[in-house]
């Protein structure tokens, strides 16, 4: 609740309020009708509560979107790092195999040239 709503709630919830003061205030708020004055107070608190609910929903959506983005970004990062390691491993295997073949070919060519 905002500070105005809090102050209104404190005044309404004071113990043993004077009946004439309360009925006069309600009648004044309701332009002569205590019932309309009470409806006005209830409408105010309902609207104030709804605005907090909207704010809470907006905050919830923002937290949800940010949380989803962080999780999705983390998954994407981990996936990319895994792919990078797999490519690096594959590249090393290919390089080692080619170097081994090149070394064997060099040895084979030297042996044949010595003959």
Span 21-40, pLDDT tens digits: 788 888 888 888 888 888 98
Angstrom distance (rounded) from CA 4 to CA 107: 92
Q: Please, are residues 30 and 41 in contact by the beta-carbon 8 Å criterion? A: no
Span 54-71, pLDDT tens digits: 778 788 888 888 888 999
15: left (phi over 0), alpha (psi -120 to 50) or beta: beta
Q: Is the pLDDT of residue 13 over 70?
A: yes
The model scores a pTM over 0.75:
no
- Closest alpha carbon to 93 in 85, 107, 78, 81: 85
Span 86-113, pLDDT tens digits: 999 999 999 988 888 877 766 656 666 6
* pLDDT score recorded for residue 88: 93
- Closest alpha carbon to 25 in 15, 13, 14, 12: 12
Angstrom distance (rounded) from CA 45 to CA 8: 10
34-114 vs 3-12: helix crossing angle, rounded to 10:
140
């Amino acid at each position: 609740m905002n500070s105005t709503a809090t102050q209104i709630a404190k005044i309404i919830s004071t113990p043993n309020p004077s009946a004439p003061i309360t009925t006069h205030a309600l009648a004044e708020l309701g332009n002569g009708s205590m019932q309309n004055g009470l409806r006005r107070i209830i409408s105010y608190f309902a609207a104030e509560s709804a605005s907090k609910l909207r704010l809470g929903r907006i905050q919830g959506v923002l937290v949800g979107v940010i949380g989803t983005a962080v999780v999705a970004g983390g998954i994407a990062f981990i996936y990319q790092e895994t792919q990078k390691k797999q490519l690096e491993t594959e590249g090393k295997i290919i390089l080692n195999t080619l170097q081994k073949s090149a070394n064997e070919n060099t040895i084979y060519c030297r042996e044949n040239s010595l003959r």
